[in-house]
Structure 1
């Protein structure tokens, strides 16, 4: 009897851990094609989740292995949802089948309903459950069965990367990239480009080793490390731009986008930076704020160079032509400071009148 149980167990385990879909590891997977969402106010696309880690699970209510692993996904969601991780459980069934099951089991992670099997076909799903783990730059880093023990370690890795996108860390993010470790000598050229903020050149050089069949294991590993760090850095810089826009620091955001375009020239990151800059500048309110902020910056530089008259003219222009901007408020303060300073200087230069006697004549000197 025991022998029979062992045989049955060995037969079932491969089935339980079997998962099959198109291999997208190292690539950006297809976009989700959904018709409805549960447990969220509004649905979203994978592109909306850049800067987040994502666990995407294909499942169904009628699938026993799926039902067995969903509680584990709920645990992953509970432990990491505040650390920048999203769990998305995607089913090809209808709402009438899925919603009661989700509610009765108290699953709270986002649930997506596939639009006529479109997403399943795009991912080449041939068996379920099948899970994909996507890092903050939108690339698949692992795929397999959600019951695989390796999933825990992969989730820790992508969550640690997602935590780098938290607002408190982004606000202090420097433009320079610190790699945190040395790479093999053959990648020294790529490392030098990183040190000079020439990220597009560094990326191109690193990809030669990461994607080369002739490169040694160490070079491949270091090449992949550099590619990941550079792309993560670019993604973080773009997220920092959004943070600056939220704070209405439009000039700083605009200047950062220009720097990103230059340093990542020719890459997808540079393209997105260019598109974001155009969108920002096409907004009439932001465009007005930007112009006023540039004028204010010019005025402050003139003050530093002691060109006070020119600075005052620029400040007056800001307060007159851009009165409803944040820069105008700052310009008004600076203008008042300069006027006060000039008034004090003038009073010091004016000769003091000598005191007069009772008759109005100046007292005689003895």
Structure 2
């Protein structure tokens, strides 16, 4: 599974409370394609109630699945999560490109889209078809990123969506796409319901940050209150899922 999806960006990490020596002896006799963290104390923080336990964490740092790895049901989620992760940040990976487009590709991967466009335009003379394909792919990536932000907004996660568009505006600054990102973000700012949900979503993001920093009980309390405030809105389901995770983490804490 890991070897199949690693080229697409899957990161896998094993954690154990065993000593370094024990793990080293294990690895001498077993080929492990991913790292193992020794002496881990994260079991309580993640609300682990049995061993082995597995977690799927998306590009936003949200646990989207947890349970016994042998239970199944999570394998089909990986391709979708990887696809979403590719559109989460400002960067874009065009894959293999001709040498003339190497610098443009590097800029795109780094999220420097204005520079990527400029370099691709310069490469038109040497590689016209490849440059055209590169620019078309960049445009499609921008469209997917915009749709990803809109999908977050549809769940009531307007604060997250707005912050993502701000990041994209900066990455695509000086291009036509930046204007599209800005137009959508400002439309949400002017919408009363979107603005109200953004304020609630900001509290949710802060509560989740508290949960990740060892303040799960505080986070659970804040999320419980927030669930009442978000009742009847698209954000309610998201908040309640976060609340359940925070409560599990708090219950497992010493």
Q: Which of 96, 101, 113 does residue 187 from structure 1 map onto?
A: 101
- The answer to whether the Cα contact below 8 Å between 2:92 and 2:108 also exists between their aligned partners in 1 is yes
Q: Which of 61, 83, 107 does residue 172 from structure 1 map onto?
A: 83
What does the per-residue CA deviation read over 1:170-222, in whole Å, with 9 as the maximum and x for residues that have no partner?
99342243324321x33322121022122221011111232xxxx3xx43333
C-alpha change, 1:248 and 1:187, in structure 2 (3 Å) is same
How many angstroms apart in 2 are the aligned matches of 1:251 and 1:276? 13
Give the structure 1 partner of residue 186 of structure 2.
Answer: 278
Deviation of 1:340 after TM superposition, in Å, equals 8.9
Q: Does 1:233 align with 2:233?
A: no
Give the structure 1 partner of residue 66 of structure 2.
Answer: none
How many angstroms apart in 1 are the aligned matches of 2:197 and 2:220? 19
Deviation of 1:344 after TM superposition, in Å, equals 9.8
What does the per-residue CA deviation read over 1:30-57, in whole Å, with 9 as the maximum and x for residues that have no partner?
xxxxxxxxxxxxxxxxxxxxxxxxxxxx
- Aligned CA RMSD, in angstroms, stands at 3.7
Structure with greater helix share of residues: 2
What does the per-residue CA deviation read over 1:291-344, in whole Å, with 9 as the maximum and x for residues that have no partner?
212211211221221224542553355246555544456556766886798799
Deviation of 1:256 after TM superposition, in Å, equals 3.0
Q: Does 1:208 align with 2:119?
A: no
Matching of residues 224-263 of structure 1 within 5 Å? 224-263=132-171
How many angstroms apart in 1 are the aligned matches of 2:246 and 2:100? 57
How many angstroms apart in 2 are the aligned matches of 1:225 and 1:343? 52
Kindly indicate whether structure 1 or structure 2 has the higher relative contact order, using CA contacts under 8 Å at least 6 residues apart: 2
Give the structure 1 partner of residue 61 of structure 2.
Answer: none
Equivalenced residues, count? 172
How many angstroms apart in 2 are the aligned matches of 1:333 and 1:170? 18
Q: Does 1:294 align with 2:202?
A: yes
Tell me, which stretches of 5 or more residues in structure 2 are unaligned? 1-78
C-alpha change, 1:270 and 1:169, in structure 2 (3 Å) is farther
Deviation of 1:267 after TM superposition, in Å, equals 0.9
How many angstroms apart in 2 are the aligned matches of 1:330 and 1:229? 32
How many angstroms apart in 2 are the aligned matches of 1:251 and 1:224? 35
Deviation of 1:225 after TM superposition, in Å, equals 2.6
Tell me, which stretches of 5 or more residues in structure 1 are unaligned? 1-167, 347-366
What does the per-residue CA deviation read over 1:237-296, in whole Å, with 9 as the maximum and x for residues that have no partner?
223334444454434432332232122111110111001001012211122222212211
How many angstroms apart in 1 are the aligned matches of 2:149 and 2:242? 27
How many angstroms apart in 2 are the aligned matches of 1:256 and 1:306? 25
Matching of residues 1-366 of structure 1 within 5 Å? 172-173=83-84, 174-175=86-87, 176-183=91-98, 185-210=99-124, 215=125, 218-308=126-216, 310-312=218-220, 314-315=222-223, 317-319=225-227, 321-328=229-236, 331=239
What does the per-residue CA deviation read over 1:66-111, in whole Å, with 9 as the maximum and x for residues that have no partner?
xxxxxxxxxxxxxxxxxxxxxxxxxxxxxxxxxxxxxxxxxxxxxx
How many angstroms apart in 2 are the aligned matches of 1:294 and 1:170? 23
